[in-house]
Structure 1
Amino acid sequence: RLWVTVVPIVLITFPAAVQAFLWERFRLPWGATVCVLGLLFGEWINRYFNFWGWTYFPINLVFPSQIVPGAILLDTVLLLSGSYLFTAIVGAMGWGLIFYPGNWPVIAPFHVPVEYNGTLMSVAD
């Protein structure tokens, strides 16, 4: 019920926290990517057991958002700049801007024309 508020906050704060910890302690520039892969694994477990296991909802219609490209971009900005401030400004902007193009390969197959009750629509509608 709280997916509108909780999910965006979790998807940016958890990778940022793990990235800051790994960069500060070990100078490893892949903290956001590792965190996002863990979140994605948990989301797939949730999708499988809750959508497919309980209700047999088609699994290809409940895919989690693709956030790995944004995490790679966030880690790359930190690696190239080495600055938390620059990463917070440019990396977070890149995170938001790469979200739709990163999800396009998953959404694209649903943008095919379909006729429904005499109206031309797409499967995504």
Structure 2
Amino acid sequence: FWVTVTPVVSVCYPGAVMYYFWTFYRQPFGATLCLTGLLVGKWITIVFAWYWWANFPMNFVMPATMVPSALILDCVLLLTRSWMLTAIFGVWAFAMIFYPENYFLFGYSKQPMVVDGQLLSLGDYMGFTYVRTGTPEYIR
């Protein structure tokens, strides 16, 4: 769900900013500027709302980065100078590079480990050991 829906939904904002910067200024950095601004806003939300206020661990609320995807989208527009080719090839590359660019952030959670004779991933172990107070198991 996360890998398929996020790039499709998040390409709308960079497309609008790209159109503005390319039409009025002929500058091909609209997508990078837009997604860098969104990432800064997301980090502000994570630090103040999740980490300081709700005391969630940082590795549970890491944001996905889309800056390399935005760079590819801007490069396709710069090289082709065509909205149609950018919409076909650039958006395809924008979506296809999403999982590989985020693997270094979330790849650690797929590491295997043995706990009490059970083979678990590190992500499963973190989920089992951190008590979430809103889950039905905790409320009972």
Range into which the TM-score falls when normalised by the shorter chain = 0.7 to 0.9
Structure 1 residue aligned with 2:99: 100
Q: TM-score, normalised by structure 1?
A: 0.88
* TM-superposed deviation, 1:6: 8.5
CA distance in structure 2 between the partners assigned to 1:95 and 1:43 by the alignment: 19
Q: What SS is found at the alignment partner of 2:39?
A: helix
Tell me which amino acid in the other structure corresponds to 2:102.
N
CA distance in structure 2 between the partners assigned to 1:115 and 1:44 by the alignment: 33
* TM-superposed deviation, 1:55: 1.6
* TM-superposed deviation, 1:64: 0.7
Q: TM-score, normalised by structure 2?
A: 0.79
CA distance in structure 2 between the partners assigned to 1:6 and 1:71 by the alignment: 13
* TM-superposed deviation, 1:8: 5.0
Aligned residues of 2:113 and 2:121 also touching (Cα < 8 A): yes
Tell me which amino acid in the other structure corresponds to 1:110.
S
Question: Does 2:119 match 1:120?
Answer: yes
Q: Identity of counterpart residues, as a percentage? A: 39
Q: Which moved more, 1:50-59 or 1:28-37?
A: 50-59
Structural RMSD (CA): 2.0
CA distance in structure 2 between the partners assigned to 1:71 and 1:6 by the alignment: 13
Question: Does 2:56 match 1:57?
Answer: yes
Q: What SS is found at the alignment partner of 1:114?
A: strand
CA distance in structure 2 between the partners assigned to 1:65 and 1:58 by the alignment: 16
Tell me which amino acid in the other structure corresponds to 1:99.
F
| Structure 1 residue ranges (4+ consecutive) displaced by more than 4 angstroms after TM superposition | 4-8
**Whose Rg is larger?**
2
1:80–1:18: structure 2 CA closer, same or farther, 3 Å change rule? same
How many positions carry a matched residue from both structures? 121
Question: Does 2:20 match 1:31?
Answer: no
Q: Which runs of 5+ in 2 are unaligned?
A: 125-140
Q: Which moved more, 1:53-62 or 1:67-76?
A: 53-62
